Structure 1
């Protein structure tokens, strides 16, 4: 349930989200669900 929190936060910080999403993807090994690029 981290993708939701990330996506919500990403809406306000696309720059920070890009880095967070990349780290989360590698740490959580989740699919590209938080792709807002």
Structure 2
């Protein structure tokens, strides 16, 4: 079993990775829109 702290850190890691992915996508979309 993972301790609560380990679970918390894992959630934060996944969350920050997810946010980065979303930001990258929106930046790409934004730049793609501007190029047109």
More helix by percentage = 2
Name the TM-score, length of structure 2 as normaliser. Answer: 0.38
Answer with 1 or 2: which has the greater Rg. 2
- The answer to which structure, 1 or 2, has the higher relative contact order (CA under 8 A, 6+ apart) is 1
Name the TM-score, length of structure 1 as normaliser. Answer: 0.37
